[in-house]
Amino acid sequence: MKKYIFLFLGSPLALAAQSSYNPQNLYDQPGGLFDEDSLRVINLDFYDSNYHSYLVNSWYYNPDERIPATLTVNGTVYDSVGVRYKGNSTFCLPNDNFNTKVPYNIDMNYFIDDQQLFDYNKIKLANAWMDPTFVKQIVSSNIYRKYLPTGESNLVKLNVQGNYVGLYVNDESINKQFLKKHFDEKSGPLFKCDDINRFCDTANAPSSMPANLYYMGDDTTLYYDSYDMKSEQGWEELVNLVKVIDLDFQNIDSVLNVDRTLWAFAVNQVIQNLDCYNTYYIHNYYLYQAKDGLFQMIPWDLDNSFSGAIMGFDYWSQSNIYEYDPYFAGPSLGGSTQPWDERPLLYKLLNNNHYRKIYTAHINTIIEESLDTSAIRTNIDNLQALAYNAASQDYNKAFSMSDYYSNVDDPLWTGWGFGGILSTINERKQFLLNHPEISLVSPTINNIILNNNVISAEVFNANTVELLATTSEHNSKFQSFIMLDDGTNGDIVANDGTYSAALPFLSSGLEVKFYIRSENNDAIKLNPERAEYEFYTYSPTTSILEATFTEVPILLKITDILGRTITPTHNIPLFYIYSDGNVKKRFIVK
């Protein structure tokens, strides 16, 4: 249910509305396909009894080919869904050991138009082959989604030809439905940023450059083996992106949603997802160009979060993992560095002082909000309790039930190291909190107030304070407006720690989206702290405040100790009365 509040400011005719944009409302509601409290059973029945050898052969030689099967969920039968095997190492490892628990890609409407399962076209079932706990993908996804658009996941049981294959992770596909869900559009260029290199049968497999956003020239065919285009068009746009990164980086914000990328990099580092662009291996992300012309980075394949199977032999030197440099930027560009080793976007972003400070602010936000091991353990306990019987009866899984539990708390050695969830969080958090750059003191931002179309905020320990605002329907391209504490342009009292600026774009009649950014020599602070994924909104055309998240209180009046409305002055007690019922006492000394 939505809650509506009518506000009257100054006079009964002066109406305004403001709230905070909450992107969490875009995710599935309880009962949806990705409901974590549900453990559904998916039944696949192929028409061809020789389906397995056929699909294995297709994985090697015709990976896009699908064959029909009947899918049944909750007693509802879906005819002729298109099925293929997916994955890379998670396919090769079980298949090479003649284990049929391989990952599945199921297209509900491949043969029959408009056929869906719980309103979704595509079902991707990961086999958690390298996750003893079965929950690393889900727990990490719940963290990523706070800061940028991220696929959802839950657990399901899979039966094939009437036989139980095992417990699977149901991962949301990054496709047109995902784009419509998060960007309210779906027609732009979309790329899966994984090259064609294969984990198995490498003697006969082709090789290519990694998807490292290295500029190889304007010929689009040079990029075909490094990126997998999922849209009808987009190669020229992708090449333009990597060209700007290489040759025109000062205009990077004209082709890339930089803040979204910094959020992705920050979450990768904080939760030790070491299988992505800014950590060990250059892959596992998507790029989508929205209608605002900006490419968005979308995380993918998160099962190696919390160091996961990337730990390997560092099990015996775990500090190599836990103390991995959060500012790792790859080798220097050019010179003796080989093109396939470069990470030009990462290198240039983290060597830009402004972007580096924003990245650091994001790291601090994630540490403060998302590394609560008590909350994470509760999430894990609920998932593992729900799936206990399914996991214990999964005789195709790669690990024991003892590992199922122990790898939650501790790293696991089986001839190879697998990072533990809570052990990784505890060690990583301690390292990051003591990191000399991350622990630098940032400004503070409190009491953001809207009064007579002026935004004000109490800010301390800052050299500059900015109001970032936009009217873009794409929630991007925020413009900077300086906020001052000089007693002019709406600022009531000079040098009192309250910075003010007129809210821009009001004459447009459009909803204004905004946040505050403050900066000192060492660090940056944002409010809301999840900006630009979250922000405040103000509508000049409605009298309704939709309180779906954190409200920005409205300053109604300032009174003296006798309750008389007055203009602020020095050396007397002042009472600031706000729309949320709060009253703040101030005493301004001159």
Do 17 and 83 belong to one domain? no
Q: What is the dihedral of CA 48, 50, 51, 53, to 10 degrees?
A: -160
Q: What is the pLDDT of residue 560?
A: 75
Domain count, the chain: 2
Do 11 and 78 belong to one domain? no
- Among candidate residues 495, 470, 500, 496, the one with its CA nearest the CA of residue 482: 500
Task: Please give the residue range of the domain that contains residue 170.
Answer: 26-179
Those residues whose C-beta lies under 8 Å from the C-beta of residue 46, and which sit 6 or more positions away, are: 67, 68, 69, 83, 160, 161
In this predicted model, what pLDDT tens digit does every residue of 337-360 receive, in sequence order? 999 999 999 999 999 999 999 999
Residue for token pair 């050695």: 413
Q: How far apart are CA 465 and CA 482, in angstroms?
A: 6
Within-domain flag for 156: yes
Q: How far apart are CA 428 and CA 318, in angstroms?
A: 11
Within-domain flag for 160: yes
Q: What is the pLDDT of residue 553?
A: 58
- Please report, as a single letter, which amino acid is at residue 150: T
Give exposure, 428-445, as e/b (b: 16+ Cβ within 10 Å): bbeebeebeebeeebbeb
Q: Which H or E run contains 130?
A: none
Q: Are 371 and 431 in contact (CB under 8 A)?
A: no
User: In the beta sheet, which residues pair with residue 527?
Assistant: 516
- Other Cβ atoms within 10 Å of 47 Cβ, number: 10
Q: How far apart are CA 155 and CA 34, in angstroms?
A: 8
Q: What is the pLDDT of residue 13?
A: 25
Maximum alpha-carbon separation in the chain: 88
Q: What is the pLDDT of residue 579?
A: 60
The angle formed by the CA atoms of residues 435, 440 and 445, to the nearest 5 degrees, is 135
Do 464 and 582 belong to one domain? yes
Q: How far apart are CA 128 and CA 137, in angstroms?
A: 9
- Please report, as a single letter, which amino acid is at residue 578: Y
Residues 126, 127, 131, 133, CA torsion sign = positive
Classify residue 268 by burial, with Cβ atoms within 10 Å: 0-12, 13-18, 19+.
Answer: buried
Token representation of residue 78: 């879906």
Q: What is the pLDDT of residue 574?
A: 75
Do 17 and 104 belong to one domain? no
- Please report, as a single letter, which amino acid is at residue 367: I
Q: Are 295 and 257 in contact (CB under 8 A)?
A: yes
* Residue ending a domain, choose from 144, 179, 214: 179
Q: What is the pLDDT of residue 539?
A: 87
Q: How far apart are CA 104 and CA 87, in angstroms?
A: 8
Q: What is the pLDDT of residue 20?
A: 72
Do 451 and 558 belong to one domain? yes
Q: What is the pLDDT of residue 406?
A: 98
Within-domain flag for 482: yes
Q: How long, in residues, is the chain?
A: 590
Q: Are 275 and 211 in contact (CB under 8 A)?
A: no
In this predicted model, what pLDDT tens digit does every residue of 428-448 receive, in sequence order? 999 999 999 999 999 999 999
Q: Are 49 and 566 in contact (CB under 8 A)?
A: no
Q: What is the chain's pLDDT, residue by residue, as a tens digit (590 residues)?
A: 333 322 323 322 222 445 678 899 999 989 999 999 999 999 999 999 999 999 999 999 999 999 999 999 999 999 999 999 999 999 999 999 999 999 999 999 999 999 999 999 999 999 999 999 999 999 999 999 999 999 999 999 999 999 999 999 999 999 999 999 999 999 999 999 999 998 997 777 677 999 999 999 999 999 999 999 999 999 999 999 999 999 999 999 999 999 999 999 999 999 999 999 999 999 999 999 999 999 999 999 999 999 999 999 999 999 999 999 999 999 999 999 999 999 999 999 999 999 999 999 999 999 999 999 999 999 999 999 999 999 999 999 999 999 999 999 999 999 999 999 999 999 999 999 999 999 999 999 999 999 889 999 999 999 999 999 999 999 999 999 999 999 988 888 999 999 999 999 999 999 999 999 999 999 999 999 999 999 999 988 763 333 334 445 556 667 777 677 776 666 677 777 766 667 766 655 55
- Other Cβ atoms within 10 Å of 405 Cβ, number: 17
Q: Are 39 and 390 in contact (CB under 8 A)?
A: yes
Do 520 and 448 belong to one domain? yes
- Please report, as a single letter, which amino acid is at residue 212: N
Within-domain flag for 11: yes
Token representation of residue 14: 């002066």
Residue for token pair 């006079």: 11
Those residues whose C-beta lies under 8 Å from the C-beta of residue 1, and which sit 6 or more positions away, are: none
Do 31 and 174 belong to one domain? yes
Classify residue 589 by burial, with Cβ atoms within 10 Å: 0-12, 13-18, 19+.
Answer: exposed
Within-domain flag for 508: yes
Q: What is the pLDDT of residue 160?
A: 98
Within-domain flag for 484: yes
Do 11 and 70 belong to one domain? no
Do 34 and 152 belong to one domain? yes
Backbone angles phi, psi at 420, to 5 degrees: -80, 150
Do 83 and 14 belong to one domain? no
Within-domain flag for 42: yes
Q: How far apart are CA 297 and CA 412, in angstroms?
A: 32
Token representation of residue 442: 């940032």
Do 10 and 75 belong to one domain? no
Q: How far apart are CA 216 and CA 343, in angstroms?
A: 13
Those residues whose C-beta lies under 8 Å from the C-beta of residue 194, and which sit 6 or more positions away, are: 88, 211, 227, 228, 283, 284
Q: What is the pLDDT of residue 587?
A: 59
Token representation of residue 487: 């007693």
DSSP per residue, 495-548:
TSSEEEEEPTTGGGTSPEEEEEEEE-SS-EEEESTTTTTSEEEEETT-SEEE-S
Token representation of residue 562: 């006798």
Do 62 and 108 belong to one domain? yes
* Residue ending a domain, choose from 154, 179, 204: 179
Q: What is the Cα gyration radius of the chain?
A: 26
| Percentages of the chain per state (helix, strand, coil), in multiples of 5 | 25, 25, 45
Within-domain flag for 471: yes
Token representation of residue 399: 């690990």
Backbone angles phi, psi at 389, to 5 degrees: -65, -40
Q: Is 401 left (phi over 0), alpha (psi -120 to 50) or beta?
A: alpha
* Residue ending a domain, choose from 179, 207, 222: 179
